[in-house]
Amino acid sequence: MAELIHIDLVFAGVDRVLRKSVQLEAGATVGDALRVSGMEGDLGASGVDWSHVGIFGRLVDATTTLRDGDRVEVYRALKIDPKEARRRRARK
């Protein structure tokens, strides 16, 4: 029997947070976790760029191998650059 690893997946949207946990065989990738979790179907056409994912805040790609206990984070696009937002607030 293959060794299983436990992975958490998280997406923080403007109006909700979606969290899922999956068990995968050792050697699974970030892409495998996203596919198995069904998270894309839950989010619908919310404009999520599935190429912007990370593990514990570090940007990775879909081919990155997962380790037991990893947290895969799906990042949403920013509406405005944080530096530009600060400049606008400072002008006011």
Q: What is the pLDDT of residues 8-39, one digit of tens each?
A: 999 987 788 899 999 999 999 998 998 899 88
Bridge-based pairing state of the strands 4-12 and 71-74:
parallel
Please write down the long-range contacts of 18-22, taking CB distance under 8 Å and 24 or more positions apart: 18/42, 18/43
Please name the helix (run of DSSP H) or strand (run of DSSP E) that holds residue 84, with its range, or none: helix 82-91
pLDDT > 70 fraction of the chain, expressed in percent and rounded: 91
pLDDT bracket for residue 1 (50, 70, 90): low
pLDDT number for residue 76: 80
Q: How many structural domains are present in the chain?
A: 1
Provide the whole-model pTM: 0.78
In this structure, what CATH number is given to the domain that contains residue 66? 3.10.20.30
Residue 36 structural domain: 4-91
Look at residue 49 and tell me whether its pLDDT is greater than 80. Answer: no
Distance of CA 17 to the CA centre of its chain: 11
